[in-house]
Amino acid sequence: MKIISPTLSSLILTIGLATGIAAAAEPAVGIARVESGPVASSYPAEAFIEALDASTVAAQVQGRVIDVRVDAGSHVKRGDVLMRIDASEADQAVAAADAQVAQAQANLSNARAAYDRSRSLVARNFISRSALDQSEAAWRAAEAQLRAAVAGRAQATTSRGFATVTAPISGVVSERLIEQGEMAQPGRALVAIYTPGSMRAVADLPQYKLDELRRAPLQARVEFPAEGRWVDASSVTLLPAADPRTHTVRARVQLPANVPGIVPGMFARVHFLSGQVPRLTVPVAAVLRRGEVTAVYVSDGKGGFRMRQVRLGETIGEGRVEVLAGLAGSEDVALDPVRAGIAVRSAAGN
């Protein structure tokens, strides 16, 4: 008979208790039923996000940028000063226009006086009627020149006002396209602004899909794959013409107002709904991807699991994915495939 020392016996008892406690503390792997039922059929199309209200402010006068007051991320209100352009040239143009107005006023005064003298001389038969007509024509021409000079001064004054660049809309500056000290030219973009809270997704649809999508009121859901988020579109508009190069029709998918975390330029995927079809779906969390292998762990009903390869379709709604092959509607799958795999290996080792 082999005698075990008290110390060794205590150690074995301690290890056994610890093992038992660890085994008892290990929670069971959660399972979920493979769902079978009608699911909305959809056509996915890649899209990008753009602001419904956006404006790119361009320079209207030539000059050097001498004052910049905003940068990307700045919040502005309509009418706020964004930057100033050197108005020296515009000031000279206004001064020249003022001089032309003064000259035109003097010419008009002389022409009016000459016409009055001609009328007096014609009344006394000192000059011919044709001479009076020439004086009247000179007076009318002087009036027209004055009106043209006044209009030229107003145009020069307006152009000088363009040296102060203001925000056409309220919103956020998405990009500043010029630096202080650079030369602005008419038509050069200076600042891009958009109004947050009013966004839409823009996608291109192939023309062969249009009849299918138009059979019912066009609806869509917008997926943001990077965030795992879905948003129901508030409206869908198809432009009435196709692109002759790509033979696609552009769709504008309006998002609800003030969706948090959505900014212009983001990638999105628009799912255009086109009826319902029966499909098998499983939670996305149940799918195990290892290289080229896509699989799930199927419950055997006795606490064990078996790995089975599956072929997946598109993502359905939030958190579920379509199963094209490999599963039946009455089966259960592990919600944590990693822990299910560990359990399978542990059972095989025992």
Q: What is the CATH number of the domain that holds 337?
A: 2.40.420.20
- Domain CATH number, residue 95: 1.10.287
In-domain check, residue 10: no
In-domain check, residue 300: yes
CA–CA distance, 177 with 188 (Å, rounded to integer): 9
111-148 b/e with 16+ CB inside 10 Å = b? beebbeebeeebeeeebeeeebeebeebbeebeebbee
List the structure tokens of 80. 């706020």
Q: Are residues 66 and 187 in the same domain?
A: yes
In-domain check, residue 303: yes
Q: Are residues 128 and 66 in the same domain?
A: no
Q: Are residues 74 and 190 in the same domain?
A: yes
In-domain check, residue 56: no
Secondary structure in 3-state letters for 204-233: EEEHHHHHHHCCCCCEEEEEECCCCEEEEC
List the structure tokens of 13. 């008892």
In-domain check, residue 206: yes
C-alpha distances in angstroms, 3 versus 6, 8, 9, 11?
9, 10, 10, 15
Please, is 285 exposed, middle or buried when counting C-beta atoms within 10 Å of its C-beta (0-12, 13-18, 19+)? middle
Would you say 192 and 55 are in contact if contact means Cβ atoms under 8 Å apart?
yes
Q: Are residues 323 and 340 in the same domain?
A: yes
Mean pLDDT (the chain, rounded):
81
Share of the chain above pLDDT 70, in %: 88
List the structure tokens of 288. 């195990």
Question: Of the candidates 143, 174, 194, which is a domain's last residue?
Answer: 194
* Cβ-based neighbours of 276, under 8 Å, separated by 6 or more: 38, 39, 40, 41
- Domain CATH number, residue 183: 2.40.50.100
Q: Are residues 76 and 116 in the same domain?
A: no
- Beta bridge partners, 37, equal 279
Q: Are residues 190 and 68 in the same domain?
A: yes
* SS3 of residue 34 by DSSP: coil
CA–CA distance, 304 with 245 (Å, rounded to integer): 56
Q: Are residues 225 and 286 in the same domain?
A: no
Out of 17-21, 292-296, 320-324, least confident range: 17-21
DSSP one-letter string for 256-325:
PTT-TT--TT-EEEEEEEEEEEEEEEEEGGG-EEETTEEEEEEE-SSS-EEEEE-EEEEEETTTEEEEEE
Q: Are residues 190 and 70 in the same domain?
A: yes
In-domain check, residue 7: no
Question: Of the candidates 116, 136, 161, which is a domain's last residue?
Answer: 161
pLDDT in tens, 30-86: 777 777 776 666 788 999 999 999 999 999 888 899 999 999 999 999 999 999 998
Would you say 167 and 82 are in contact if contact means Cβ atoms under 8 Å apart?
yes
Q: Are residues 102 and 203 in the same domain?
A: no
In-domain check, residue 247: yes
Q: Select the highest-mean-pLDDT range: 93-97, 105-109, 250-254, 297-301.
A: 250-254
Question: Of the candidates 161, 186, 213, which is a domain's last residue?
Answer: 161
When divided into structural domains, the chain yields a total of 4
Predicted TM-score (pTM) of the model is 0.60
pLDDT at 212 over 90: no
Q: Are residues 257 and 307 in the same domain?
A: no
In-domain check, residue 338: yes
Return left, alpha or beta for 261; rule: phi > 0 is left, psi -120 to 50 is alpha, else beta.
Answer: left
Q: Are residues 112 and 153 in the same domain?
A: yes
Task: Name the band, by pLDDT with cuts 50, 70 and 90, for residue 349.
Answer: low
* Sole residue written with tokens 């290990």: 26
Per the structure, the complete domain to which residue 229 belongs is given by 43-51+198-276
One-letter identity of residue 202: V
pLDDT at 274 over 80: no
CA–CA distance, 139 with 132 (Å, rounded to integer): 11
Comparing C-alpha atoms, which of 51, 33, 39 is closest to residue 221? Answer: 39
- Beta bridge partners, 147, equal none
Would you say 299 and 334 are in contact if contact means Cβ atoms under 8 Å apart?
yes
